[in-house]
Amino acid sequence: MQKVSVYIIAYNEAGKIADTINSVLWADEIVLADSASTDGTDRIAAEMGARVVQIPFEGFGHLRNRAIAACTHEWILSIDTDEQCTPEVRDEILALLAGTPAHDAYLVPRQNYFMGQWIRHSGWYPNFRQPQFFRKGAMRYGESPVHEGYELLTSKPAGRLEHAIWQIPFRNFEEVVKKANRYSTLGALKLSGRRVSMGQALFHGSWAFIKHYLFKRGFLDGWPGFVIALGNFEGTFYRYAKQYEAQAKWPLPTQPPLHRPGGSPSA
């Protein structure tokens, strides 16, 4: 049977990394692409049998391409720290590798869990990102800092696995806010050089909310659907607002040093 490597990208994910690694212990190799974590993520991964490689963060596309290069086997499964492989996906992959896979790259559906329930709408189910199971050399990622695209390097189209992995994107509301902040900062880099306005920030943010809450039927997910839509509003709004801030270069108010009236302060 052909062998499979798993790569995981991480930065300060000590609270999640064990669950992710536990879900892929069946693989022939686990590679943690760490970007100088300070909370022990790399130590935990190494103790669980992963091979840790340190890769400075220069955007997610660059990080993923470097992680692929660190894998040694013919087939690669990409799992993030907020994702977990399931027994059904494991068995589907092993069945493919026991024969001759029809494709060189496969999209993998993701089933999202948020606020105590499985999300069925909001654009989160079935939820796909770039192909997550692929033959080494069959694809590469774009070098965008966030929401990186990909290019297939094979004549075969991407296939799809039937079964879904788990994604637990947020374990609490603090993570919702943190991710919106981080991704909006990285997203603003993609707008570098563009002239934007606060009106555009409001328009694009509002459209992101409407798209997820109404058109992707987030309202059917109850409060989790509302929070998901609101998080998309915030991430999109601040992406444009941060670019507007960068181009505006607002100066801070200044004033001369203030001394006590009538002379120097007493000793």
Report the CATH number at residue 141: 3.90.550.10
Please indicate, yes or no, whether residues 60 and 140 belong to a single structural domain of this protein: yes
Residue 262 lies in a domain: no
Please indicate, yes or no, whether residues 159 and 30 belong to a single structural domain of this protein: yes
Please indicate, yes or no, whether residues 162 and 212 belong to a single structural domain of this protein: no
Please indicate, yes or no, whether residues 57 and 134 belong to a single structural domain of this protein: yes
Residue 265 lies in a domain: no
**Residue 230 φ then ψ, to 5°:** -65, -40
DSSP codes joined into one string, 116-168:
TEE--STT-TTB--S--EEETTSEEE---SSS--EEE-SSSPPEE-SS-EEE-
Q: Report pLDDT digits (tens) over 180-200.
A: 998 999 899 889 889 999 999
Containing domain of residue 212, as a range? 173-248
Please indicate, yes or no, whether residues 203 and 116 belong to a single structural domain of this protein: no
Residue 179 lies in a domain: yes
Contact 121, 216 (CB under 8 A): yes
pLDDT score recorded for residue 265 = 61
Contact 169, 177 (CB under 8 A): no
Please indicate, yes or no, whether residues 143 and 184 belong to a single structural domain of this protein: no
Please tell me the total count of domains within the chain: 2
pTM attached to this predicted model: 0.85
Q: Report pLDDT digits (tens) over 27-79.
A: 999 999 999 999 999 999 999 999 999 999 998 899 999 999 999 999 999 99
Residue 8 lies in a domain: yes
Contact 80, 110 (CB under 8 A): no
Please indicate, yes or no, whether residues 223 and 143 belong to a single structural domain of this protein: no
Residue 264 lies in a domain: no
Please indicate, yes or no, whether residues 181 and 162 belong to a single structural domain of this protein: no
Residue 266 lies in a domain: no
Residue 190 lies in a domain: yes
pLDDT score recorded for residue 262 = 79
Measured distance CA(39)–CA(42) in Å, rounded: 8
Residue 254 lies in a domain: no
Please indicate, yes or no, whether residues 78 and 43 belong to a single structural domain of this protein: yes
Please indicate, yes or no, whether residues 182 and 98 belong to a single structural domain of this protein: no
Residues of the chain with pLDDT under 70: 263-267
Please indicate, yes or no, whether residues 42 and 162 belong to a single structural domain of this protein: yes
Please indicate, yes or no, whether residues 62 and 184 belong to a single structural domain of this protein: no
